[in-house]
């Protein structure tokens, strides 16, 4: 598949009717589960309303001229929506195709788990390495019916031999993923065929389900002389889209590393189905994070059957997956389930990655109002939400955001992790930030890092700057965890300081200046803060990296007509995983070397808690960043140790937070 430059959607071709018949996706009908009425609003009404508003929003908001009536009409909102759709298509949507043997038959020895026997496929990697593939393994009961919004329950056992030959269904997507799905067939086809969204999206629409709690296991050896270390991958996607499917997270590079490992990838519930929180209605929240913990318990109990060592489990993830990793580090439910951790471009200290208990409950009630659910109390509200089709609930999730919430940052999604009541079964008994500050992180070796231009995808075209009002932009983007009210004198003072630090007296910043600002604001600063906190300890080991190899495998080069130099958010994934779902890149010899180095570093870390090893590929020793050494590994065309800050201006944020918090937290 040849790479194509991606441009914003133009107006719909003449003759396309936005009110075409609503698609039936994945076998859903207009009837609520069990044949019961869907609360106070029928499914048909909900679907019609969702289709109309969503298709209009998507098609009009991605045009070069954004109508004033468009809810994403702000300049930042427009950039974010387009970037989200493109990245959703390429970065977060897996499982649109499956691996198959010629006859779809099992070719591995049988393995026995606590639920029953499985068989999979023996696969040969491009370099001739053999590995065993087991896909679509249920790790929990389907979270449907009365189990919707609840903590996951152990998977049911089965009798006989179960084939694990293809991935399970993708969890129902929320936000823009759901917006795409609710378009009428004609409009959706126009989006796919006429507007340069890759054709592989057509398969994505048919494979979403609430019955989605599956994982995949890949192993070089089922019966090794010594059990193999285990890497468990948690996908990104803002907690509202994505999957652990092999089309984006293919195992070949990690299977080819000199240190043999077992790789596990998984799905977890997303959007309101995964993160709705209403404690007074019996929904404490964080079901999606509890799904991840349930998958880790499954790994503990079953991974030996695949040659894995349950005492050497490393969790790793990117973006929201990297944030999840750090949340597992402070969660009492995950304690003892893993022994190393890697956060790629994600941190639990990001104020946009979680919300308060009160805010979570308010958003749950707003969602019910948007769905026209009338209830006598919160418990009745939850009961009625359980009667609605899951696609209807997830497709309406973004509509609960207020105008102010939309204007306050990048891809602010309403249903994210929340602080729970401090009681047994809570995943987050306080905010993740507070748990980190209390020093409650699991004492395990930790890798964390960033890419060189995280927010480059937001500013890749000159016209992305059109209409930017810099003073207003700064005021809107003052971080919420500074505790100042939007529009207050304190907010204005901080906004002016932000503008001076990044742009001086200029009101016409360059694309690169804006990209660097957004990168610091949304990723670099919280990563820097994470490093500051964890580096104060002498142990366990902390390793920090900056990925700067802007090669032919990066997603941004394979999907965009890339203008800005630098490594964008998610670009490093192509150096850890094969990605058959996106156009193939122009892989150079240097790209091959970098991806082999990445696989060596990550698998060495899984094996011993130390990324260094004997491989001749690793020409530089990766030194730890403990004792506030400010050391990090630059992963570029070559490996090199550096000392200093991720970017020149993160020190500005140190000063701002020190002043606001009285020097308590930096």
Summarised one tens digit per residue, pLDDT across range 414-437 is 899 999 999 999 999 999 999 999
pLDDT at 661: 64
**Cα angle 106-112-117, degrees, rounded to a multiple of 5:** 50
Summarised one tens digit per residue, pLDDT across range 110-139 is 999 999 999 999 999 999 999 999 999 999
Q: Between 43-61 and 185-194, two packed helices, what is the crossing angle to 10 degrees?
A: 30
Summarised one tens digit per residue, pLDDT across range 377-419 is 999 999 999 999 999 998 888 888 887 777 665 446 889 999 9
Overall pTM > 0.85: no
- Choose the weakest-confidence range: 219-223, 468-472, 473-477, 586-590: 468-472
The mean per-residue pLDDT over the stretch 140-160 comes to 97
DSSP secondary structure string for all residues of 316-343: EEETHHHHHHHHHHH-TTTTTS-SEEEE
The mean per-residue pLDDT over the stretch 445-456 comes to 96
Strands of the sheet with 340-344, listed across from one edge: 121-124, 130-138, 214-219, 262-266, 228-234, 308-318, 340-344, 446-451, 542-547, 631-635, 639-643
What are the chain's domains? Answer: 108-444 (3.40.50.1820), 445-665 (3.40.50.1820)
Q: Is the pLDDT of residue 44 over 50?
A: no
Q: Is the pLDDT of residue 595 over 50?
A: yes
DSSP secondary structure string for all residues of 564-584: S-SPPTTGGGGGTSB-TTSPP
The mean per-residue pLDDT over the stretch 14-35 comes to 33
Distance CA 419, CA 323 (A): 15
Q: Is the pLDDT of residue 55 over 60?
A: no
Q: Is the pLDDT of residue 475 over 50?
A: yes
The mean per-residue pLDDT over the stretch 161-179 comes to 83
- Choose the weakest-confidence range: 107-121, 176-190, 502-516, 548-562: 176-190
The mean per-residue pLDDT over the stretch 41-51 comes to 34
Q: What residues are annotated to the active site?
A: 319, 454, 569
Q: Is the pLDDT of residue 355 over 70?
A: yes
Q: Is the pLDDT of residue 363 over 70?
A: yes
Distance CA 626, CA 613 (A): 19
In DSSP terms, 635 is beta-bridged to: 547, 639
The mean per-residue pLDDT over the stretch 242-247 comes to 94
Summarised one tens digit per residue, pLDDT across range 58-82 is 223 323 333 333 333 344 444 444 4
pLDDT at 70: 36
pLDDT at 559: 82
């Amino acid at each position: 598949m040849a790479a194509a430059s991606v441009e914003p959607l133009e107006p719909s071709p003449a003759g396309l009717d936005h009110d075409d018949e609503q698609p039936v996706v994945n076998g859903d009908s207009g009837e609520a589960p069990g044949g019961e009425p869907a609360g106070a609003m029928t499914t048909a009404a909900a679907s019609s309303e969702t289709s109309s508003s969503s298709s209009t929003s998507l098609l009009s908001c991605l045009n070069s001229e954004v109508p004033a009536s468009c809810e994403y009409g702000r300049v930042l909102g427009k950039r974010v929506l387009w970037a989200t759709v493109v990245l959703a298509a390429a970065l977060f949507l897996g499982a649109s195709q499956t691996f198959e043997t010629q006859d779809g038959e099992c070719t591995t020895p049988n393995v026995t788990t606590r639920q029953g026997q499985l068989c999979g496929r023996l696969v040969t990697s491009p370099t001739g390495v053999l590995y065993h593939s087991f896909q679509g393994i249920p790790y929990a009961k389907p979270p449907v019916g009365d189990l919707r919004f609840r903590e996951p329950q152990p998977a049911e056992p089965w009798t006989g031999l179960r084939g694990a030959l293809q991935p399970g269904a993708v969890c129902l997507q929320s936000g823009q993923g759901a917006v795409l799905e609710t378009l009428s067939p004609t409009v959706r086809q126009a989006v796919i065929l006429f507007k340069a969204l890759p054709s592989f999206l057509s398969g994505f629409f048919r494979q979403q389900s609430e019955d989605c709690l599956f994982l995949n296991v890949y192993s070089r050896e089922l019966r090794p002389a010594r059990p193999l270390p285990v890497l468990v991958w948690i996908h990104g996607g803002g907690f509202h889209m994505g999957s652990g499917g092999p089309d984006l997270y293919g195992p070949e590079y990690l299977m080819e590393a000199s240190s043999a490992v077992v790789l596990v990838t998984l799905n977890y519930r997303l959007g309101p189905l995964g993160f709705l929180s209403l404690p007074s209605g019996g929904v404490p929240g964080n079901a999606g994070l509890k799904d991840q913990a349930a998958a880790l318990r499954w790994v503990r109990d079953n991974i030996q059957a695949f040659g894995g060592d349950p005492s050497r489990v490393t969790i790793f993830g990117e973006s929201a997956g990297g944030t999840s990793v750090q949340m597992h580090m402070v969660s009492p439910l995950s304690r003892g389930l893993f022994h190393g951790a890697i956060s790629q471009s994600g941190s639990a200290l990001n104020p946009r990655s979680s919300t308060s208990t009160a805010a979570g409950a308010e958003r749950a009630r707003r969602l019910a109002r948007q769905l026209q659910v009338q209830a006598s109390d919160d418990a009745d509200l939850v009961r009625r939400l359980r009667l609605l089709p899951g696609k209807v609930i997830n497709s309406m999730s973004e509509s609960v955001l207020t105008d102010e919430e939309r204007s306050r940052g990048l891809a602010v999604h309403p249903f994210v992790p929340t602080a729970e009541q401090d009681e047994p079964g809570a995943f987050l008994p306080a905010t993740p930030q507070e748990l980190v500050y209390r020093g409650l992180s699991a004492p395990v070796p930790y890798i964390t890092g960033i890419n060189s231009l995280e927010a480059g995808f937001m500013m890749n075209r000159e016209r992305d700057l059109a209409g930017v009002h810099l003073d207003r932009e700064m005021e809107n983007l003052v971080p919420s965890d500074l505790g100042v009210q939007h529009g207050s004198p304190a907010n204005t003072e901080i906004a002016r300081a932000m503008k001076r630090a990044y742009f001086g007296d200029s009101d016409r910043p360059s694309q690169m200046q804006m990209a660097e600002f957004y990168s610091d604001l949304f990723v670099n600063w919280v990563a820097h803060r994470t490093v500051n906190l964890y580096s104060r300890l002498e142990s366990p080991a902390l390793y920090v990296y900056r990925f700067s190899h802007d090669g032919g495998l990066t997603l941004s080069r394979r999907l965009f007509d890339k203008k800005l130099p630098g490594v964008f958010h998610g670009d490093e994934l192509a150096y850890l995983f094969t990605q058959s779902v996106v156009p193939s890149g122009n892989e150079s010899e240097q790209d091959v070397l970098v991806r082999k180095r990445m696989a060596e570093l990550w698998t060495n870390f899984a094996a011993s808690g130390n990324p260094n090893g004997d491989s001749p590929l690793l020409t530089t020793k990766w030194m730890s960043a403990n004792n506030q050494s400010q050391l990090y590994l630059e992963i570029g065309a070559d490996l090199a140790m550096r000392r200093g800050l991720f970017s020149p201006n993160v020190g500005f944020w140190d000063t701002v937070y020190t002043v606001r918090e009285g020097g308590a937290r930096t």
